[in-house]
Structure 1
Amino acid sequence: DPEISLPIPARLPEKYVGDMNVRLNLYRRLSTLREQEQVQLMAEEVRDRFGPLPKEVENLFQLVKLRLVLKRLGVTRVDGGQKGVSLTFSTSSKINPEKAAKIVSQHASTLRFISASRLHVTVPRTREDSYLPRTIEKIRWFEEVTS
């Protein structure tokens, strides 16, 4: 699984899911999800069971969605900061280099290669609630260039 280090809170807080065993079971289930639709269904289930999702729980579900995208793209690591995120691709990534270069040139103000296997994605942290969705949207540009 890709290692993700982003400056956002993402968890199931005790005040939202009081029973530790239930929380652990939910985390375990989250780790087994393989499709975006499964993540959405589980988020709806948790909302129905425990009430409106606090921001940190919404973030947790967004991170699971991000992890699925990263796995498909062959990204091994994501590091986030104030100005954006950097992605590290595995040597076995299925990204087509020529098509990736075209995407980067089309979005030069947002994307730039730091090295052959690292890409910087500019995602300013202007609003906390849009950071993760905007990050995922920009990373998904590369789904169309997998070989």
Structure 2
Amino acid sequence: MNNHHSNTEEESKTLHIGFDDTDSTNGRCTTHLAYLLTNTLVKKFKVNFIDFPLLIRLNPNIPLKTRGNGAVCLRIKGKRYDEIKEEAIYFIENYSDIENGANPGLAFYEENNIANDIISLSNNAMDTVLSKQL
């Protein structure tokens, strides 16, 4: 009985998968990695995307950018979120250009609405160089 409640609760939440800096000045591309991951999530996990993948344009004046300075967010509804997270981690670890300087970041958020502190962080990042925060 508890498992059923857990699955129902999981299905009602949106899983946000955000990632960036998987490319380097030598190659690879964060949006291409998003394409590869999206295809795998559809085929392997039969996920339902709540919308198209989001391309998040980041501060164009940031000194640490590679080329286009864009991040990606995938938003899905479904089941097996733990397995989906493991798959995303696998893709980031194996398809990022780490050997040429990529320093990828990956974030998961399981809620339907974005919390105010995350919105505030996003707004600050529009025109400020931020340090890593946990």
Q: TM-score, normalised by structure 2?
A: 0.31
Highest RCO, 1 vs 2 (Cα 8 Å, sep ≥ 6): 2
